[in-house]
């Protein structure tokens, strides 16, 4: 593949890398796995890049490939030593304006999301990224009705995790 394509791809990904980082945050529990998944997503994006026609935005196209990698293609590496869970370290940075109670609730919520299955995580992620139900259904390959029903169930699940 030619240099121009490489340059174009890396520039685009550098600009939109947050999308990949966010997916890694949701799907992995430690920094080493985060880096692994980030790398695999980058490889898959690059491999699929020649198929990127430019008829959609680069970021929109990224969601699909990156989520597919996290859900289906990525194979977790076996690790001997468990590195520290970054939920508690730097999964999210505390915001100054929150009071203790809000802060605690948010921590609980983030932890609850971590307990969801791969598909539910994808639904939550797309929702948090402001995707509408049509986009969610297209990314996951399910009907819009199904996407709505699943999202409602995720909400119930989260509520149940928070208030057992």
Question: Where do contacts with other proteins occur on this chain (CB under 8 A)?
Answer: 6, 9-11, 13-14, 17-18, 21-22, 25, 38-40, 42-48, 51-52, 61, 64-65, 67-69, 71-75, 77, 90, 92-93, 95, 105-106, 109-110, 113, 117-120, 122, 124, 127-128, 130, 138-143, 146, 149-150, 154-155, 158-159, 162
Distances (CA, A) of 117 to 36, 50, 73, 149: 20, 31, 16, 16
Least distance (Å) from other proteins to the CB of residue 164?
A: 14
Least distance (Å) from other proteins to the CB of residue 85?
A: 17
141 φ/ψ sector (left φ>0, alpha ψ -120 to 50, else beta): left
Q: How far apart are CA 119 and CA 150, in angstroms?
A: 9
- Residue 139 near residue 121 (C-beta atoms within 8 A): no
For every residue of 58-100, which 3-state class applies, written as one string? HHHHHHHHHHHHHHHHCCCCCCCCCCCECCCCCCCCCCCCCCH
- Local structure of 42: helix, strand or coil: helix
Least distance (Å) from other proteins to the CB of residue 82?
A: 20
Among residues 1 and 81, whose Cβ is nearest to other proteins?
Answer: 1
Among residues 4 and 51, whose Cβ is nearest to other proteins?
Answer: 51
Among residues 14 and 80, whose Cβ is nearest to other proteins?
Answer: 14
Among residues 29 and 146, whose Cβ is nearest to other proteins?
Answer: 146
Among residues 4 and 75, whose Cβ is nearest to other proteins?
Answer: 75
- Residue 112 near residue 162 (C-beta atoms within 8 A): yes
């Amino acid at each position: 593949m030619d240099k121009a394509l490489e340059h174009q791809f890396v520039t685009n990904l550098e600009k939109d890398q947050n999308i990949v980082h966010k997916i890694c945050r949701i799907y992995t529990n430690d920094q080493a796995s985060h880096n692994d998944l980030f790398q695999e997503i980058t490889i898959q994006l690059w491999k699929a890049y020649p198929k990127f026609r430019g008829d959609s935005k680069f970021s929109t196209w990224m969601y699909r490939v990156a989520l597919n990698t996290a859900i289906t293609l990525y194979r977790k590496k076996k690790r001997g030593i468990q590195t520290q869970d970054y939920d508690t370290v730097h999964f999210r940075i505390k915001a100054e304006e929150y009071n203790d109670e809000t802060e605690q609730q948010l921590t609980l919520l983030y932890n609850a999301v971590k307990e969801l299955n791969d598909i539910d995580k994808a639904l939550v992620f797309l929702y948090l990224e402001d995707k509408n139900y049509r986009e969610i259904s297209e990314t996951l390959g399910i009907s819009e009705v199904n996407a709505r029903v699943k999202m409602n169930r995720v909400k119930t699940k989260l509520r149940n995790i928070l208030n057992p």
